[in-house]
Homo-oligomer: A and B are copies of this chain.
Amino acid sequence: MYRLFHYWRSSSSWRVRFALDFKGIPYEPVAVSLLNGESESPEHLSRNPLGTVPVLEIPGTPASLLSESLAILHFLEEAHPDLPCLLPGTPLERARIRMLAELINSGIQPFHNPPVLAQHSADPVEQKSWAAGFIEKGLHAYESHCKKTHGLYSVGDAPSIADACLIPQLYSAERFEVDWRAFPVISGVETNLRALPAYQSSHAERFKPLDFKG
């Protein structure tokens, strides 16, 4: 069985939880905190020398370790072509899906990762303002693209890896007080995503430690 090293509030982790659940692939979640030094421990650095989550352990002899959420999402597509697909369509439609996924993956999320926020500034107010600026600009761009590509979901009428990235990005936006409901296309897509069983089962709040104070 797959093991997923993840953190409940890591948006990159949630992308992979969503994809596993959407495809109906069982997995064992293993929590790695981004806040108490666990992700920078020798044990986790041996899984991923960058110290990030998620990391997917792929069963085998020996087992393989795969980091970077977009690489994991693509691996799940290619290793399980018989299961429900998150990269449908023509090469151009798939390109638009990847464009939206990367807009979040490289254009928004890197800037609100907790270690990056700490490196940018020790002031929580400045941290929040810095993160919110990237989220606001990124979601504006996502909305602009999505006006042309959306159906029920971000690209057409089927959920995709773009939506797998959008779901947790909106949750993070709330934490940094960015009002994503001001974007009408994104809001409509979010309503449809929220109705998916995989949205519910992969949700950050389901994996939040009971004693978490944040």
- Given A107-B110, A120-B120, decide whether A71 and B98 contact each other with a Cβ distance below 8 A: yes
Most interface-central of A69, A70, A75, A102 (chain B CB within 10 A): A102
* Interface residue ranges of A130-152 to B (CB < 8 Å): 130, 133, 137-138, 140-141, 144-145
Q: In the complex the two chains form, is A74's CB within 8 Å of B50's CB?
A: no
Q: In the complex the two chains form, is A91's CB within 8 Å of B103's CB?
A: no
Oligomer copy total: 2
State which of B71, B79, B102, B141 has its C-beta within 8 Å of the C-beta of A71: B102
Q: Chain B: which residue is nearest A48 at the CB level?
A: B141
Q: In the complex the two chains form, is B91's CB within 8 Å of A145's CB?
A: no
Most interface-central of A49, A70, A106, A133 (chain B CB within 10 A): A106
Looking at chain A's contact residues, is the secondary structure mostly helix, strand, loop, or mixed? helix
* Interface residue ranges of A83-107 to B (CB < 8 Å): 91-92, 94-96, 98-99, 101-103, 105-107
Q: In the complex the two chains form, is B103's CB within 8 Å of A106's CB?
A: no
Chain B residues with CB below 8 A from A103, complex form? 50, 67-68
Binding site for B on A (CB under 8 A): 48-50, 52, 58, 64, 66-72, 74-75, 78-79, 91-92, 94-96, 98-99, 101-103, 105-107, 109-111, 116, 119-120, 130, 133, 137-138, 140-141, 144-145
